[in-house]
C-alpha cells in the first residue's frame, strides 16, 4: 500500500514539474551561436566563384576595404589569372582561430581544375593563412600569408598567357606568344607519337607550364632551382593513379629548352608525353631505368637515329673499356650529380628497353612495363616480370644488355 501511494503521488506531481522545467528552459536566455565559420565559408565561396566567372569586383569584395596593399596585390593576381581556363576554384577552410572580437585567423587550402584537363581538383600543397576582420556584420580578408614549403603557382610569377593546341594547352609567364605556339605545335605532334608507343587508354592531351625562368621552375616544383639547371622539362603528378585525378603537368625549364634544336625540343615533349601515357602503370615498383628508358625509347622510336647518336656518353664509356656492370640504379638519375653520369643512366635505360623491343618485341616491352607496375612494390617486381613476361632472370638479362651495349656501341 505504501509503495502504491508513492507511485500515485509521483503521477500527480510529474506533470507540473515537467511543465515548470520546460518553461524554465524556454525562458532562459541563450548565448547567440557563433556563426563565424559559416559566414567565413560563405565569403570564401563567393570569392572562389568570382575567380571562375571572371568577376573582379566580386573577387575584391572579400578583401578588407582598409587593406590597400593587399587589394592592389590581389587585383594583379586576378589579372594574372584572366587567361587561365578554369573549370573550378575552391577554398577549403581547414582551421579557424578566433583571435579577438571581430578578428580571426584561418587556414585555407586551395583546389582548382583546369577546364578540359583536370578530371578532379588539383590540391595546392602550399596552404595559406588568412587574417580576417569583421566590419559592419561582414567578414573580410585583411592579410594573406603562404605557408612555408610546397609548390608555388604559375600565376604568382606574372600574367599567364594561354595557347591552345589540338591536343595541348600551354600556359606561360613572361614568354613570347610565338614561342608558346611553337611549343603547342610540338606537343600536338608528341602526343600521337607517345600514343603509338603506348597504344593503351590514356588522356592523349598535354598540359604544359612554362614559368618565367629557371628559378620559376624551382618555385613550381618546390625545390632548389639549381638541381634542374640542365633539365629541359619534368612531368609532375601522382604515380600509379586510377580513377579521377588531376592531369599531369609538364613543367618546362625555359632556359634549357631554348638551347635545344627542333629535334631536341620535339624529343623532350614526346618523352614527357610518354610519362603521361604510362602514369597509371608507374609506381614505386617501377625502377627509373625502366620508366625513363621507356620514355626515351618512345621518343627515339621511328627517328632512325643510330645507337651512337642516341647514347653518345655511354658509347664513349664503352669504347674506353668502361662497359657498365649493371643496369642503372635509381640514384644514378639524380639531377644534382655529374651530367655525363646522368646521361649514361638515361642512355643505359634506353638501351635496355631497345633490347627488349628488338629481341622480344614491342608488345612484350609494354607488357613487361605493366607487369612491373602491377606488382605494386619494388621487391621482386622486376624479377617476377622478367620471369613471367620475358622468360629470363635479371642476371641473364643484364648479361644480354651488356653484350648488346658492346655490339651497338663499341
pLDDT per position as a tens digit, 333-389: 988 778 899 999 999 999 999 999 999 999 999 999 999 999 989 999 999 999 999
Residue 112 placed within a domain = yes
Q: Which residue has the higher pLDDT, 4 or 235?
A: 235
Last residue of a domain, one of 150, 171, 188: 150
pLDDT of residue 6: 38
pLDDT of residue 20: 36
Same domain, 294 and 409: yes
Same domain, 91 and 179: no
Q: How far apart are CA 185 and CA 180, in angstroms?
A: 9
Range of the domain at 322: 283-410
Same domain, 387 and 299: yes
Residue 4 placed within a domain = no
As a whole number, mean pLDDT of residues 92-116 equals 94
Same domain, 129 and 104: yes
Same domain, 53 and 124: yes
Residue 123 placed within a domain = yes
As a whole number, mean pLDDT of residues 107-133 equals 90
Same domain, 259 and 325: no
As a whole number, mean pLDDT of residues 292-321 equals 96
Same domain, 157 and 146: no
pLDDT, tens digit, 9 for 90 and up, residues 231-249? 999 998 765 554 556 789 9
Last residue of a domain, one of 248, 277, 306: 277
Residue 21 placed within a domain = no
Q: Does the pLDDT at position 284 exceed 50?
A: yes
What are phi and psi for residue 381, nearest 5 degrees?
-65, -50
Q: How far apart are CA 194 and CA 271, in angstroms?
A: 8
CATH number of the structural domain spanning residue 269: 3.30.2010.30
pLDDT of residue 336: 74
DSSP annotation of 234 reads E
**Quick one: cell of 162?**
594561354
> 648479361: which residue's cell?
399
Q: How far apart are CA 66 and CA 406, in angstroms?
A: 72
Element (H, E) at 273: helix 262-278
Same domain, 351 and 320: yes
Spatial contact of 232 and 211, defined as CB atoms under 8 Å apart: no
Q: How far apart are CA 371 and CA 114, in angstroms?
A: 32
Same domain, 264 and 290: no
As a whole number, mean pLDDT of residues 188-194 equals 98
Give the bridge partners for 91, in sequence order: 110
**Domain count across the chain:** 3
Element (H, E) at 161: strand 160-164
**Mean pLDDT (the chain, rounded):** 90
Longest dimension (CA), the chain: 114
Q: Does the pLDDT at position 12 exceed 50?
A: no
Last residue of a domain, one of 277, 302, 335: 277
pLDDT of residue 301: 97
pLDDT of residue 150: 67
As a whole number, mean pLDDT of residues 313-320 equals 96
The proportion of the chain whose per-residue pLDDT surpasses 90, expressed as a percent, equals 80
CATH number of the structural domain spanning residue 119: 3.10.450.50
Same domain, 262 and 163: yes
pLDDT of residue 239: 53
Amino acid at each position: 500500500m505504501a509503495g502504491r501511494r508513492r507511485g500515485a503521488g509521483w503521477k500527480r506531481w510529474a506533470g507540473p514539474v515537467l511543465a515548470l522545467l520546460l518553461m524554465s528552459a524556454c525562458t532562459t536566455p541563450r548565448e547567440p551561436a557563433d556563426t563565424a565559420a559559416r559566414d567565413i565559408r560563405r565569403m570564401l565561396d563567393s570569392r572562389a566563384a568570382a575567380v571562375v566567372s571572371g568577376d573582379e569586383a566580386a573577387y575584391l569584395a572579400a578583401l578588407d576595404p582598409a587593406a590597400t596593399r593587399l587589394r592592389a596585390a590581389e587585383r594583379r593576381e586576378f589579372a594574372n589569372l584572366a587567361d587561365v581556363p578554369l573549370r573550378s576554384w575552391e577554398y577549403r577552410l581547414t582551421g579557424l582561430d578566433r583571435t579577438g572580437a571581430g578578428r580571426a585567423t584561418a587556414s585555407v587550402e586551395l583546389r582548382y581544375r583546369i577546364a578540359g584537363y583536370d578530371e578532379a581538383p588539383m590540391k595546392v600543397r602550399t596552404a595559406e593563412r588568412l587574417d580576417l576582420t569583421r566590419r559592419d556584420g561582414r567578414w573580410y580578408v585583411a592579410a594573406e600569408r603562404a605557408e612555408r614549403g610546397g609548390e608555388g603557382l604559375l600565376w604568382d610569377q606574372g600574367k599567364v598567357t594561354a595557347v591552345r593546341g589540338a591536343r595541348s594547352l600551354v600556359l606561360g609567364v613572361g614568354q613570347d606568344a610565338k614561342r608558346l605556339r611553337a611549343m603547342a605545335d610540338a606537343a600536338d605532334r608528341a602526343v600521337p607519337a607517345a600514343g603509338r608507343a603506348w597504344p593503351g587508354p590514356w588522356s592523349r592531351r598535354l598540359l604544359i607550364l612554362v614559368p618565367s625562368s629557371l628559378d620559376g621552375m624551382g618555385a613550381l616544383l618546390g625545390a632548389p632551382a639549381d638541381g634542374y639547371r640542365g633539365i629541359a622539362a619534368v612531368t609532375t603528378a601522382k604515380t600509379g593513379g586510377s580513377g579521377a585525378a588531376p592531369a599531369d603537368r609538364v613543367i618546362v625549364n625555359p632556359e634549357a629548352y631554348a638551347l635545344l634544336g627542333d629535334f631536341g625540343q620535339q624529343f623532350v615533349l614526346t618523352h614527357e608525353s610518354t610519362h603521361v601515357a604510362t602514369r597509371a602503370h608507374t609506381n614505386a615498383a617501377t625502377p627509373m631505368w625502366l620508366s625513363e628508358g621507356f620514355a626515351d625509347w618512345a621518343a627515339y622510336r621511328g627517328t632512325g637515329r643510330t645507337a651512337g647518336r642516341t647514347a653518345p656518353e655511354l658509347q664513349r664509356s664503352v669504347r674506353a673499356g668502361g662497359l657498365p656492370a649493371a643496369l642503372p640504379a635509381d640514384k644514378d638519375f639524380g639531377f644534382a650529380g655529374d651530367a655525363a653520369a646522368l646521361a649514361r643512366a638515361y642512355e643505359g635505360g634506353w638501351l635496355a628497353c631497345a633490347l627488349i623491343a628488338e629481341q622480344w618485341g614491342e608488345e612484350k616491352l609494354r607488357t613487361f612495363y605493366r607487369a612491373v607496375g602491377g606488382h605494386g612494390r619494388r621487391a621482386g617486381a622486376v624479377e617476377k616480370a622478367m620471369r613471367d613476361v620475358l622468360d629470363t632472370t635479371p642476371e641473364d638479362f643484364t648479361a644480354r644488355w651488356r653484350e648488346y651495349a658492346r655490339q651497338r656501341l663499341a
